[in-house]
Amino acid sequence: MELFNRAVRLWMIRRRSNLVRTRKVEEDCGDDQDAVIILEKTPFREETLPQLLNKNADLRLQMQNDIYSTHHLHAPSALNEIKTTVVYPATEKHIKKYLQQEMHLINETADDYKNITAPYLQSQSFSIQWVYNILEKKAEADRIIHEHPDPKNGFILIPDFKWNQKQVDDLYAIAIAHRREVKSLRDLTAEHLPMLQTILQEGQMAIFKRYNVPKSSLRIYLHYQPSYYHLHVHFTAVGYDAPGTMVERAHLLSSVIENLQLDPEYYQKQTLTFALKADDPLLQKFKEEGRL
C-alpha cells in the first residue's frame, strides 16, 4: 500500500487487550494528512494449533514456578496474521475517536434530548455517504450476507470491517436499515416494529444459513449514542468481547422490540444513559445547561 511506503512516525494512542491503535503522521513526503491505523491480532483457529505447537515450535521460556510457566511463542509468519484497518485521510474526529480519554456518564432525559442532544446533532455535519454507497450497492456489494429489499422494512446485512470472516469466534455483522429518516434509538416508535422484527428474524436466519451460528450464540443490539446516525443493528458472537457492548451503550434488539410493544413511544420518554469522552462537544453542551 502506497501509504506505508512513505516516511512516517507512529504515535501510540491506545492499547486494549489484543488491539493496538495508532496515529500515523506523514513526514518528509509532502503530505501532511493524518491517518488512523488499527492493528488487531486475528483469533487463532483450532486447525492451525498443530502447526503452532509441535516439536519444532520456537517457544522461549520467560518464567517458571513449580507447575506454572510462561513462554514467548514465535509463530510462523503464515500463522501470525495481523488485520490492519486504515482510515485515510483521517479527520480530527476520527483521531479523537481512538484517543484514550476520561469518560463521563450522561443520563439523558427526554427533555435533554429535545433541548440539548437533538439541536446539537442537527448543527453538525456527519458524512455517512459510505452507508448510502452500501445501500445503493455502489460499494461492498460483493460482501452482502443478506438483503431484504423493502424500502420501509428492509435492510442489508454485511460483515463489519472488524471481522475477517475466517472464523466465527469473533463474528461481527451489521444490519443497515434501508429507511434513511431513522437515525437512532430515539427515533424508534411502534411504527418501526415490523422493520425491527424483520432485522432480528431474517438476520438470525441469514447468519445461521451462511455461518452455521445459531441465534442463541448471537448478541444482537443497537448502540446509543451510535457511532453514525443511520439506524443499524450489530450482530456479534456471544463469546466475543466486541467493542461497544458495555451496559451504558448497548441495547439488546429483543428488549427494544419488547419495550416498544409495551409503550409505542418508549424511547421518546425514557431516560437513556451513555458515555461521552472528555473533549466531546456534546458533553460541553450538557455542562453549559447545568446537566452535569
Catalytic residue numbers, as ranges:
232
Look at residues 98, 134, 112, 84 and name the one whose alpha carbon lies nearest to residue 13.
98
How far is it, in rounded angstroms, from Cα 31 to Cα 136?
32
How far is it, in rounded angstroms, from Cα 97 to Cα 244?
13
Q: Is 195 exposed, middle or buried (0-12, 13-18, 19+ CB in 10 A)?
A: buried
Dihedral of alpha carbons 82, 85, 91, 92, sign: negative
In this structure, the strands spanning 103-108 and 82-90 are unpaired
Q: What angle do CA 24, 26, 28 make, to 5 degrees?
A: 150
Diameter of the chain measured on Cα atoms:
66
How many other CB atoms are there within 10 angstroms of residue 174's CB atom? Answer: 22
How far is it, in rounded angstroms, from Cα 4 to Cα 26?
10
How many other CB atoms are there within 10 angstroms of residue 217's CB atom? Answer: 17
- Spatial contact of 43 and 170, defined as CB atoms under 8 Å apart: yes
